[in-house]
Copies of this chain bind each other. A is one copy, B any other.
Amino acid sequence: ERGRSLILQAHVDVVPPGPTDMWTHPPFAPVIDGDWLYGRGGADMKAGHAANIFALDALRRIGLKPAATIYIQSVVEEESTGNGALMTHLRGYRADAALIPEPEDEKLVRANVGVLWFQVQVRGVPVHVREMGEGANAIDAAYRLIGELRRLEAEWNAAKTGREHFEREEHPINLNIGRIEGGDWASSVPAWCTLQCRISIYPGQSAEAAARELEERISHFARNDRFLANLPPSVTFNGFRAEGYTLEPGSEAEKVLGRAHRAATGADLQSFMTAGYLDTRVHALYDKIPALCYGPYSQGIHAFDERVSLASVKRITGTIALFIAEWCGTEAIALC
């Protein structure tokens, strides 16, 4: 091979649509309205997946093919564990750089948080509602526990000081209580409540240590709560246990992407910190290669009326094609 090899990756899983009547169009019946393509997973990230392939089509149309191996990777579980991307590493796929066109508003991700998922189960002995005591039920206890987790979140946010790419963000660390379910009957005091949670950590922070801190914090709080002390909440790490990464400036791959972006869009490439999980962490942390996350304009990802700008998808496709041309080099396709 003459050129440098490249991984072009995208994930095919999507987050649930939520209540479908909150959508302008049905979430899984894509609709184009002006420049926007609406639909769950259109922006996050079928658009980028398509752009990866369109870029190769564009080169072929002008009689060129890459002068090095390109791996087109389609992975699962970017929205829950990151294990799909991780498997590409464990199976031994390697290249000189990786590009993942997540919907990043035509900017390059400079730094990215790690993410942990955890489930907290609160249980306790209920009584008839006529005998209930103040707060002695699983739903109220779960909310007290959420309060403690919010205090932990505030402490982790305060620890942004001195962390490049994070200290100027107002709230770089987000705790999300994404799902709650508890109790069985309006007239029975709730005996159980389960929380599905997500919290982020800084690059360089150990996911294992963060998990231990969460467990100890919950355990300590429960010991001092009259209701929770009887039956300590159980904590299960049931998804992401992923660490963050920083894309160190100055790599050749970033320079090539910057030139491609300027040629395709007419603007300088901006970089920024993202506060959500990204599969590029696998390539940055474990493949130890330049891992570029850069993709189209979008609105409403993980929300209602998710949409992607089609003009932006075209620009991104141009950037990717030019990136391939310079990074991998090109060869003429033999005429048949």
Distance of A274 from chain B, by nearest CB (Å): 6
In the complex, are the beta carbons of A179 and B189 less than 8 A apart? no
Given A18-B192, A132-B174, is A187 in contact with B125 using a C-beta cutoff of 8 Å?
no
This protein's copies in its complex:
2
Q: Which of B127, B143, B146, B185 contacts A178 (CB 8 A)?
A: B185
Interface residues of A, CB < 8 Å — how many?
58
Note all chain B residues with C-beta closer than 8 A to A276.
128-130, 187
| Distance between Cα atoms of A179 and B178 in the complex (Å) | 17
Q: Give the residue among A16, A123, A132, A188 with the most B Cβ atoms within 10 A.
A: A188
Is A304 an interface residue, CB under 8 A from the partner? yes
Q: Chain A binding site: helix, strand, loop or mixed by DSSP? A: loop
In the complex, are the beta carbons of A198 and B186 less than 8 A apart? yes
Q: Which of B15, B128, B140 contacts A302 (CB 8 A)?
A: B128
| Distance between Cα atoms of A129 and B275 in the complex (Å) | 8
In the complex, are the beta carbons of A117 and B302 less than 8 A apart? no
Distance of A279 from chain B, by nearest CB (Å): 13
Note all chain B residues with C-beta closer than 8 A to A330.
none
| Distance between Cα atoms of A125 and B303 in the complex (Å) | 7
Distance of A7 from chain B, by nearest CB (Å): 24
Distance of A318 from chain B, by nearest CB (Å): 26
Is A196 an interface residue, CB under 8 A from the partner? yes
Could you list 15 A-B pairs, sorted by A, with CB under 8 Å? A15-B187, A18-B184, A127-B303, A129-B174, A130-B275, A131-B275, A139-B177, A140-B177, A176-B188, A178-B187, A178-B188, A186-B239, A187-B302, A189-B303, A191-B303
